Amino acid sequence: MGSPKFLVVDDSVTMRRIIINALRAIGYDNLIEAEDGQDALQKLLDKGADFVIADWNMPEMTGLELASWIRGNGFFSRLPILMITTRGSKDDVLKARGAEINDYILKPFSPQSLKEKIDKILKSTEPKNA
């Protein structure tokens, strides 16, 4: 696989810019974006993606609902999902695990910490013995 295609999902335009700028800063330039979970589903179906970075709190469809849809979809079920959230309570972490996201990162974050999360996920999801 070449440079993975990232789908960046956040209802805040400012936050999307921050995430996209951070991704560009760490060398990723194959990027598409969506403004909520519902929009993300449509973008996934229309354009596909290799990696989803999603906000937790969004109107229409939350990040957790989006993650549940992805995990329940035969074609996209193994798509890496990194959740971005300001929430870090134990309950929320457990809910996130229930939705089978790969990892989460708390706002605000540095490009370097984003890179570390992405590298860890890509390493854990790459095919073994390939």
Dig out the tokens for 87 from the structure: 């929430």
Residue-wise DSSP of 74-101: TTTTT--EEEEES---HHHHHHHHHTT-
For residue 33, state whether it binds Mg ion (rule: CB under 5 A). no
Pick the closer one to Mg ion by CB: 57 or 68.
Answer: 57
Tokens 């798509």 belong to residue: 79
Which one, 9 or 70, has the nearer CB to Mg ion?
Answer: 9
Closest separation in Å from C-beta 8 to Mg ion: 12
- 68 vs 122, which CB is nearer to Mg ion? 68
Cis peptide bond upstream of 127, omega within 30: no
Is there binding between residue 57 and Mg ion (CB under 5 A)?
yes
Interface residues with Mg ion (CB under 5 A) are 11, 55, 57-58
